[in-house]
Amino acid sequence: MPENEKLFEGYFDYKIFFDLYKIISSTLNITELLNLTLEIMLNTIKAEVGILFLIDKNSNQFIEVSNRGLTKKICESIFYNEENLIEIIKKLEKPALFKNLKIKNKDKKIFIKSILTVPLISKNHKIGYALLANKTSKEKVIDFENSDKEIISILSSAFSVAIENSLLYEEMVKLKNFNLGIINSLNSGVITLDMDRRLNFYNKSAEFILNLNQSSLGLEVEKILSNIENEKLKIILDGINRNENILNMKAELKTETGEKKILNFSLSNLKDVQDKVIGYIISFDDISEKEFLETQLLRTEKLAALGELSAGIAHEIKNPLTSIKGFTQLLPKKLDDKEFLLKFANIIENETKRLNSIIENLLEFARPKIKKYEILNLNEPLRRALELLNPKLKSANIEVELELSEMPEIYGEIDKLEQVFINIILNSIDAMENGGKLIIKSKTLIKRGPENIFMEYATIYFTDTGKGIKEEDIDKLFNPFWTTKEKGTGLGLSISHRIITEHKGLIEVKSKYNQGTTFIIYLPTVNNF
């Protein structure tokens, strides 16, 4: 007979294996597992009382997790060779037998004949201890034997693995429930799709916003999002097909009651720990109320801007009219004064030209969009603008540094884009009253567009060494009739902004007062228009 089988001889006729199998395979509930483990240990070696401790990972303290007639308080009163038994077993790596113990407990008389301590070791680290006391035989308490220590030593490995697995499972369940609680507490809707684009999870907000239920699980994303705009649904599907992220894309959703909601969608890949794509995450916010409030605010701002525009128009037109009126009032008295009449004629001509210029600029600013786009290279209108303004740049003692790279093609109106570049360069010239340097760079750039989708842009940078713009004035730059120039109308940058917007582009300004200004023009390439 093998040695291990001899050890088990007389111990419930192999019933222990059945109990062990039951522990390992039938329960992951940590409380049930610990109670069952202690019970089997006690029954196996016929111990009268016992206790299980687990070691807390953070504090390294013993935590009592199960007991049968033996508590932590009692254990703290047990001494061996004048040293507390709890402190002794903390140092042990193997099962040990203790006899001749002293009990220092004044509350009640406690009888402990001998104790068998068993460290619970899993994956080469201690996770806890079992203390088993008072072996019984024929209703008498006797000392433990070495065979008891050996059998418990063999069994403790299986117990330890089972306990650690249960602890890990419980930790995983807690983490899962915690994460699920976070996700379900979000105001944002969250759904996940498998690789076949079928719904496999939704949170509470998604359930409410998209009217989902358990029967929705397994449905394709086209059905889940069937009530949003077809164009936006196509963007989401294309993003899934290409494994591309989408950030903050607005889409209109029609509910079953006919109500319209504005949702802000984002799409990203769902990856496992090996960074392999295993599905897709779509999150969305109901921004209907926000959009309504922004519309109201925009309406208010438009009315305020209209008031400023009206005041600007009145101011610009009033000045030449005042000059004309003043000379007209003097005209009856000066009919014989040739010098006065010549001066009057010049003023009428100049002020009329000024009025006409204001009207032309206003018409340019408000003119309906007539698109005559063609494929072109952005460097071309830039070179035309520089060629036109070259004499003015030289006379203003401004050095121009060009760093033009090969540019992808764009759709645009070359004359309109030339006008934008002329306006920006003229602003730089005015900002460098005592001369300076204008650095112009062109390059291709990938950045997020208006709907936070990454796009390819042909980009032009204009950086001057002029007086810069005060921080509080940067937001006013593109307002009609706002200007810091004595003779400016304040319409040049407004018109430039409108032209760039019509080209689906962006215009950005960076400036530090007394240090210079950079205008950046972004125009989508042909592939992203």
Higher pLDDT, 111 or 483: 111
pLDDT tier for residue 111 given thresholds of 50, 70 and 90? confident
pLDDT above 80: residue 492: no
Residue type, position 401, single letter: E
Q: Residue 93: what pLDDT?
A: 85
H helix or E strand, kind and range, residue 465: none
Instruction: Say how far apart CA 52 and CA 39 lie, in whole Å.
Output: 10
Answer yes or no: do 327 and 341 share one domain: yes
Answer yes or no: do 341 and 380 share one domain: no
State how far the alpha carbon of 96 is from the alpha carbons of 99, 134, 141, in Å. Answer: 10, 14, 18
Contact 282, 267 (CB under 8 A): yes
Answer yes or no: do 401 and 486 share one domain: yes
Q: Residue 7: what pLDDT?
A: 45
Please tell me which of 5-9, 100-104, 217-221 the model is most confident about, judged by mean pLDDT: 217-221
How does DSSP classify residue 407? -
Place of tokens 């047990």: 78
Report the pLDDT averaged over residues 421-428.
88
Contact 1, 33 (CB under 8 A): no
State how far the alpha carbon of 97 is from the alpha carbons of 125, 278, 414, in Å. Answer: 21, 53, 95
Instruction: Say how far apart CA 523 and CA 164 lie, in whole Å.
Output: 60
Of the listed ranges 118-127, 297-306, 462-471, the least confidently predicted one is 297-306
pLDDT above 50: residue 426: yes
Contact 64, 53 (CB under 8 A): yes
Query: Residue 157 belongs to what domain range?
Result: 3-178
Answer yes or no: do 224 and 173 share one domain: no
pLDDT digits (tens, 9 = 90+) for 344-402: 777 777 777 766 666 665 555 555 555 678 899 988 999 888 888 888 899 899 999 99
CA-derived radius of gyration, the chain: 42
Answer yes or no: do 102 and 250 share one domain: no
Residue that is last in its domain, among 257, 286, 315: 286
pLDDT digits (tens, 9 = 90+) for 392-411: 899 899 999 999 888 889 98
- Using CA atoms of 154, 158, 164, 167 in order, give the dihedral in degrees to the nearest 10: -130
pLDDT above 90: residue 459: yes
Please report, for the domain that includes residue 321, its CATH number: 1.10.287
Please report, for the domain that includes residue 493, its CATH number: 3.30.565.10
Answer yes or no: do 205 and 161 share one domain: no
Q: Residue 364: what pLDDT?
A: 55
Average per-residue pLDDT in the chain? 80
pLDDT above 70: residue 106: no
Please report, for the domain that includes residue 193, its CATH number: 3.30.450.20
H helix or E strand, kind and range, residue 12: none
Place of tokens 């719904």: 199
Answer yes or no: do 160 and 197 share one domain: no
Answer yes or no: do 26 and 173 share one domain: yes
How does DSSP classify residue 378? T
Answer yes or no: do 329 and 278 share one domain: no
pLDDT above 80: residue 272: yes
Answer yes or no: do 15 and 136 share one domain: yes
User: Looking at the chain, how many residues does it have?
Assistant: 529
pLDDT digits (tens, 9 = 90+) for 498-525: 888 888 888 888 888 888 899 999 999 9
Q: Residue 312: what pLDDT?
A: 56
Q: Residue 195: what pLDDT?
A: 92
CA angle 18, 21, 26 (to 5 degrees): 120
Q: Residue 228: what pLDDT?
A: 87
Q: How many CB atoms lie within 10 A of CB 242?
A: 8
Residue type, position 414, single letter: I
What the block records as the tokens of 29 is 């509930």
Q: What region does 116 belong to: left with phi over 0, alpha with psi -120 to 50, or beta?
A: beta
Q: Are strands 516-524 and 454-464 parallel, antiparallel or unpaired?
A: antiparallel
Residue that is last in its domain, among 341, 366, 391: 366
Place of tokens 């209108």: 381
Instruction: Say how far apart CA 93 and CA 156 lie, in whole Å.
Output: 12
Instruction: Say how far apart CA 217 and CA 236 lie, in whole Å.
Output: 19
pLDDT above 80: residue 197: yes
Answer yes or no: do 20 and 59 share one domain: yes
Q: Residue 437: what pLDDT?
A: 92
Which of 366, 340, 349 is CA-nearest to residue 481? 366
What the block records as the tokens of 254 is 């029609």
pLDDT digits (tens, 9 = 90+) for 321-349: 666 666 677 777 777 777 777 777 777 77
Residue that is last in its domain, among 127, 150, 178: 178
Report the pLDDT averaged over residues 425-442.
89
H helix or E strand, kind and range, residue 111: none
Q: Is 19 helix (H, G, I), strand (E, B) or coil?
A: helix
pLDDT above 70: residue 133: yes
Contact 127, 167 (CB under 8 A): yes
Answer yes or no: do 417 and 507 share one domain: yes
**Domains: count for the chain:** 4
Q: Residue 309: what pLDDT?
A: 55
Which of 33, 120, 135, 128 is CA-nearest to residue 72? 128
Percent of the chain with pLDDT over 70: 78
Q: What region does 479 belong to: left with phi over 0, alpha with psi -120 to 50, or beta?
A: beta
